[in-house]
């Protein structure tokens, strides 16, 4: 299982930690904007023996954003068949979701910066959330992070 929680410092961030193994997690941090059309942020993946970070993931206002994807998962708390996925326009961040019995959602967070470049790299971690309130809470926290709104 995972639980979303915000870091304790003053910088906006969202962290999803695995309840079964707190050393596995995903963090959204270091948000900044150059203009009204996009938000830039860093994504970090952590697991035993793994630390991966992409410093500049970009969310464009005209794209289907991550919060819309997470909110749709939360709305379907009774479950769905198969895998659902979302990715940034540049495909450097991908999130896949699978519903499991018992009302749990398996989320696989994958980073692959410069996917078209030779010699590129990729990393992923998998976390679990309860389909209802935990998923809704994560969606709200990510929305607040990306928009810069106070909770």
> Any idea which of 25-29, 69-73, 103-107, 118-122 has the lowest mean pLDDT?
118-122
Closest CA to 41 of 150, 143, 122: 143
Query: Would the pLDDT of 72 be above 60?
Result: yes
Closest CA to 47 of 16, 22, 15: 22
> Any idea which of 5-9, 88-92, 118-122 has the lowest mean pLDDT?
5-9
Q: Is 58 in contact with 47 (CB distance < 8 Å)?
A: no
Residue 65's Cβ-side half-sphere holds a number of Cα atoms within 13 Å equal to 20
Query: Would the pLDDT of 69 be above 80?
Result: yes
**pLDDT at position 119, please?**
73
**pLDDT at position 5, please?**
47
Please write the tens of the pLDDT for every residue from 34-54. Answer: 888 889 999 999 999 999 999
């Amino acid at each position: 299982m995972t639980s979303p929680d915000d870091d304790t410092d003053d910088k906006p961030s969202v962290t999803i930690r695995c309840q079964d193994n707190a050393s596995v997690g995903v963090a959204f941090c270091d948000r900044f904007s150059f203009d009204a059309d996009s938000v830039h942020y860093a994504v970090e993946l952590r697991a035993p023996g793994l630390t991966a970070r992409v410093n500049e993931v970009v969310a464009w206002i005209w794209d289907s954003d991550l919060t819309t994807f997470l909110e749709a998962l939360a709305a379907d708390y009774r479950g769905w068949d198969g895998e659902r996925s979302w990715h940034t326009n540049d495909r450097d961040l991908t999130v896949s979701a699978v519903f499991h019995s018992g009302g749990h959602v398996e989320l696989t967070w994958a980073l692959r910066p410069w996917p078209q470049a030779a010699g590129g790299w990729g990393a992923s971690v998998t976390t679990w959330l309860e389909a209802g309130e935990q998923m809704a809470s994560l969606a709200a926290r990510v929305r607040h992070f990306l928009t810069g709104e106070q909770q």
